[in-house]
Structure 1
Amino acid sequence: MFISPSIASGNLLRIEDEVAFADRFFNSLHLDIEDGVAVSGITFGTKMCQLICKASTAIEKSIHLEVWRPLDYLEEIRKCKVDHVFIQTAHLSNAQQVIKTYQQAGIPVGISVNKLDLLRPDYNALLDLTDEILVATAYPDDLEQCYQCAMEKLALKLADEGKKVWIDGGITAEIYLKLANSSLIAAVMGRAVFNNKEQAVRQFCRN
């Protein structure tokens, strides 16, 4: 399981340095686009994401799209040219249509699953649309990012069923090391990488 550093947790006043750090040591980069409506936070707009993606040399780039109207972002997201786009669906009444529209546009799209999605009547239908799943192991609006073991179990279950599963939220070094050799594909990690970069390199970059 590889680590995809969440650049929103870096020092945004030195964004170029933070991107270069993620590229050099992790060869992966994760971007959250939050609009302050679908979730309470506001992070990057699409123009900034495009600039970051253009500057990054990482082999793996991903976007977590946490916005109220994801179809309004489709053309701008396409310009980012990332490898994975995970769309938060918990608030969407037309989630299947959104996923299918992104697929038809040729965008490599998956779904972001948090605990509210488990109550959706079309939850299984959504899972059938894509093999790419990002499981939120902390609730998106939880400022403390408390890790949810129940969502970890769900992630492992989905991976055992053949899904390509990422986890995102509240992942500490200890949690990552416990799961590093599991069937999960990637862990999105922000604070655990950027709060102490020297320590993160020692813990996670041993090759």
Structure 2
Amino acid sequence: MTEDIFPESDDDGCEPFRSIAAHVHCSEDDVFAAFAGLPVPEWITPTHLQSVRAATQRWNEAARHARNLQHTLMRLTDHERVQLRVAGAVTVEQIAHLQSVLDGDAKNLNEWLTSQPRAGRENIAAAAVAEGIRRLFRRRRKRITFGQHPEGGPSTEFGRAVEFSIGAFGVLADWRRPAQKAKEKQDDIQGRLMSIHMAAINRTKG
């Protein structure tokens, strides 16, 4: 019942991955592997999340009205409910089923919303794309660096890949902050790995 919120792709849904693979000069499978486990960027844009919140509110409101109608019908006498049934009106059981379906859909949407990363002031869709590119570069042993030309465009291969990929997924966001945060994450990972390596060397010497 939520096809309009999560529509099927017009193609096989893989075009962003193919475009990124061509841009980075790697295989489509490499891109798939890098993005595995990450949220679908198109589904976590601020606009889409707002649409899901609005839909959840509508389903909850409809379920509340169905529940109230069910309770009201239950206050009728048995004879009055039979008269409604003879007239072809919906039954109490049908209203109860409607309420159950509405409650279930609202619950599913709410659970999906709560499972998504918290946005805050960050565009989480762009952040997810940058994380996928960070993983792709790490897997391919390519340098993860951040730099910007005076006119504003990315000056590094990693930055250009992030900018391109954000556009490939149709996400409306600037490339700079997502690329910078992804680069800082990689620096942190490298720092921790170096600390572990140095600790192992010191233990060997000791």
- Class of the TM-score when normalised by the shorter of the 2 chains: under 0.3
Structure in which a larger fraction of residues adopt helix = 2
* Higher RCO structure (Cα 8 Å, ≥6 apart): 2
